[in-house]
Structure 1
Amino acid sequence: MTRLDVRDIPPVNRHPTIHEEFEDLAPGETLTIVNDHEPKPLFYEFQAEVESFDADNYEVERVGPEEFVAKFPKVEA
């Protein structure tokens, strides 16, 4: 599992960084991101654009007022 805390990454760079990290995953692995808001727009973006994104097994949990942990699984081969 790869964990990426994007809270310190400038907002303009967050989605490209997340996409790069996701692409580096092997099939069946999960990218866990820590964000300062619920990543619904990112979920919809992945659902629409990333064929290997397993949207059915996506999970998000609010851990604190400005801490959301989301799991973006990659489809198994």
Structure 2
Amino acid sequence: MSDTTLDVRDVPPSDRHPKIHDAFAALDSGDELVIVNDHEPKPLFYEMQAEVEAFDADGYAVEQRADDEYVARFPKQ
């Protein structure tokens, strides 16, 4: 199992989800995509849960480290 970290805070909002989906698709089964974001990525969580079969929603976790720093873990089955 390995982690891939993607900091999207400097990515334009309209480009974030496609970039995240591409990075998640490139993972191997059992790997985890770690997203660093400027807000809690609840909409992304629901999108992944509804649209990405390989997303392990039960293993999802998010931690707020600062007012503008959230670290979310998106595991791949």
Distance in structure 1 (CA, Å) of the matches to 2:75 and 2:36: 14
Cα offset, 1:32, TM superposition: 0.0
Out of 41, 44, 47, the residue aligned to residue 46 of structure 2 is: 44
Q: Secondary structure at the match of 1:26?
A: coil
Gaps of 5+ in 2: none
| CA offset digits 1:14-69 (Å, max 9, x no partner) | 00000000000000000000000000000000000000000000000000000000
Equivalences for residues 26-65 of structure 1 within 5 A: 26-65=28-67
* Runs of 4+ displaced beyond 2 Å: none
Unaligned segments of structure 1, at least 5 residues: none
3-state secondary structure, aligned to 2:15: helix
What's the TM-score, normalizing by structure 1? Answer: 0.97
Give the Cα separation in 1 of the matches to 2:13 and 2:28. 26
Let me know the Cα RMSD of the aligned residues.
0.2
* TM-score normalised by length of structure 2: 0.97
The equivalent residue for 1:73 is: 75
**Corresponding residue of 2:25:** 23
Q: Which amino acid aligns with 2:6?
A: L
